[in-house]
Structure 1
Amino acid sequence: MEDHTKIEPTAALVMIWAREMYGTGSPGRFYSILDLSAGEKMKAECDVACPWYNQVTLNRKWMIHRLAGEFIRGADGPCQVILPAAGKSPLALELLDDHNDRIRSVIEIDISGMEEKKRLYEKASPEFAGKISCVTADLFDLPGVIEAVRETGMYDPALPTVIIPEGISYYIPPSLLSGVIGLFSSPDHRNTVIFDFMLPCRLVNEDRRKFPKGIWRVINHDCNPDGTVTYTPEEIEETLKDAGCTRIDLHSMHFIEKDRTGGNAFFLCVEDGWTVIVEGRLPLSNYHRECEI
């Protein structure tokens, strides 16, 4: 595609599944300049395993957007948004479209592709590009993440902050997940972290386990040979508590689907789902205090 930016297969796959979310506004303009062809082969393979898997992605992204919006609207003053492992998701533009006057800045972090993403923002949404900093850093190097975030000049630890490490809990160990989250706790505000995680198959109804197994067999074969990291509710709560989180809330696909669509076509009960959205309040943690952001 001429003048379109090609993205890697897994990112393209997720964007294909989420297509109906990006029809208008700044996210729509961003979406329209992406070349998603690298995800078509994986999409065809995933369709064999679960032809309606886009519903999981739509539920997940819809709920994360909703919870982030609730935090931003309810905060006492301007907010900032932190997006670890941001990839090519246009979540920053979704939130700015809805809450521009409430968001002071958005800081995106990833190991590569950040200069290119900044150019995409400038092309798709120049009115918001100045509020978004795209930082190159490796989440496995937490001191390096701290330094890179500090160097943007945009991070203010005194501002209410929502941290959204969407899509990374499947790929990194619990200790690193809690470390990344703990970087952005605050002594003065009750920040919030929102992200998705996957349950072990034993907690999913037996006749539904074939769907996540089939999908992740495709994804792991292509890009994640170490396999998928899963959490029980107790394990995710422990991981978040290690980061300093309190008041941890879990949201199942059953209830998200009902809220998003008005009914349940795919997740008739809680145990039919394998992806969960978690929200945790994040006061000051020992890790944050030691790192002195």
Structure 2
Amino acid sequence: MAQKLKVPSTSRLVLEAAMSLYTSPLQQRYIAAIDFSETSGLFYDLKRQYSSIVDIICLRKESIRQMLQEKFSQSPQQQVVILGAGLDPLSLYLLENYANDISHIIEIDNGYIEEKQKIYTDILPETVPIHFSRCDITDTDLLWHKLRENGYKEALPTTIIFEGVFHYIRNEAFIQLMKLFRTTNHRNTVMMDYFLSDQEVPDGYLPAQQRVLELIETALGLSLNIHSRAVISSLLEYLDADQVKTVALHEVEKKLTGSNQLLHAPGEGLLEMVHFNI
């Protein structure tokens, strides 16, 4: 049996939380190649403080899938760039569902990207158009070089996945990053999420939200970047974003399940989704 990839529990937290979504044989082969034996203290603490954290992470990922379905039904033949790709096998999901609509996929991350590439190489045919590159996404000069090096074509419509990343960079870095993908005809689409600031959260939900964010900040030793809807609107206006659509997680749950058993109002669920053209 091949040795499994062993990474720190914090690096696979989101992957572990969203395990129920990785159901295809190909995704299962990928998951089987990662060592989950180490107990994640942060994951345990998050579930203890906020029992719905697994559902929230899954809803975030389901929302990205919903956005992708809508995008590819309208605009086939895209290239896909996944920024801060982490260990999530989103590329496998894309190939399984939209292979005919995607020219190639570029995954960018500053973590275990080579190890992830090794697993993909073991389970996928050689001809699969996925490219991997290690890069700090806030180093935009290097990022642009890495994108071009891995087949990025400016003229081709691009879907940029920016999931679970905005919390960890400053607004100025976000602006510079998004400027790389701006076009005169807004042909590129960005799909992302952001943590909500206290003013956007219902009073009854606020204590749980604050506990979760404080727990993450303490465990990772950093200050999370959280936003009001007004600030997000201002940032996207500055970028001249078009066709901006914000989606609250309770809407995602309703669309996915037909009812709201977990979330009932805007501001519940720690974060919101947004997609826009740029």
TM over 0.5: yes
Change (3 A) 1:39 1:134: farther
Q: From 200, 203, 208, give the equivalent of 2:200.
A: 203
Query: Percent identical across equivalent pairs?
Result: 26
Is residue 254 of structure 1 aligned with residue 250 of structure 2?
yes
Matches within 5 A, 1:91-106: 91-106=90-105
CA–CA separation in structure 2 for the residues paired with 1:85 and 1:279? 17
Q: How large is the Cα RMSD of the aligned pairs?
A: 1.9
Give the C-alpha shift of residue 229 in structure 1: 0.7
Q: Within 5 A, what are the aligned runs for 1:49-64?
A: 49-64=49-64
Deviations 1:105-138 (A, max 9, x none): 001111232221111111233367x311111111
Alignment of 1:168-183 (within 5 A): 168-183=165-180
- Which residue is equivalent to 1:6? 6
Provide the residue aligned with 2:222 in structure 1. Answer: 226
CA drift at 1:189: 5.6
Q: Please say if residues 47 and 54 of structure 2, whose CA atoms lie closer than 8 Å, have aligned partners that are also in contact.
A: no
Structure 1 outlier segments of 4+, above 6 Å: none
The structural deviation recorded for 1:188 is 5.2
Question: C-alpha offsets along residues 149-179 of structure 1, whole Å, 9 cap, x if unaligned?
Answer: 1112x11111111001111111101111122
Q: Cα offset for 1:212?
A: 2.4
Is residue 2:241 matched to residue 1:245? yes
Residues 4 and 34, structure 2, Cα contact 8 Å, conserved in 1: yes
1:8 deviates by: 2.9
Unaligned runs of 5+ in 1: 283-293
- The answer as to whether partners of 1:159 and 1:189 remain within 8 angstroms in 2 is no
Contact in 1 for aligned 2:199/2:228 (Cα 8 Å): no
Q: Unpaired runs of 5+ in structure 2?
A: none
Label 1:234 to 1:151 Cα distance change in 2 as closer, same or farther (>3 A): same
Match of 1:268 in 2: 264
Indicate conservation of the 8 Å contact 1:253/1:273, yes or no: yes
Letter of the 1:143 counterpart: D
Per the alignment, in what secondary structure is the counterpart of residue 238 of structure 1?
Answer: helix
In structure 2, relative to structure 1, the CA distance for the partners of 1:180 and 1:45 (3 Å cut) is: same
Structure-2 residue corresponding to 1:290: none
Aligned to 2:143: 145
Q: Deviations over 1:199-235 (max 9, x none)?
A: 1122211221222222222322222x23111111111
Q: 1:234 to 1:25 in 2, by over 3 A?
A: farther
Task: Look up the match of 2:152.
Answer: 155
Distance 1:272 1:111, change over 3 A: closer
The size of the alignment, in residue pairs, is: 278
Read off the aligned partner of 1:78 and give its amino acid letter: Q
Give the Cα–Cα distance (whole angstroms) in 2 for the partners of residues 164 and 141 of structure 1: 17
8 Å contact 2:78–2:156 — kept in the other structure? yes
Distance 1:190 1:220, change over 3 A: same
**What is the rounded CA distance, in whole Å, between the counterparts of 1:145 and 1:189 in structure 2?**
21
1:33-182, aligned counterparts within 5 Å? 33-38=33-38, 40-75=40-75, 77-126=76-125, 130-152=128-150, 154-182=151-179
Post-superposition Cα deviations, 1:35-74, rounded to whole Å, max 9, x if no partner, equal: 2344622221112101121111111000111102221231
Q: Is the 8 A contact 1:83 1:107 kept in 2?
A: yes
Q: 2:83 & 2:197 partners in 1: Cα distance?
A: 24
Task: Provide TM-score, normalisation by structure 1.
Answer: 0.89
The equivalent residue for 1:279 is 275
How does the TM-score come out when normalised to structure 2? 0.93
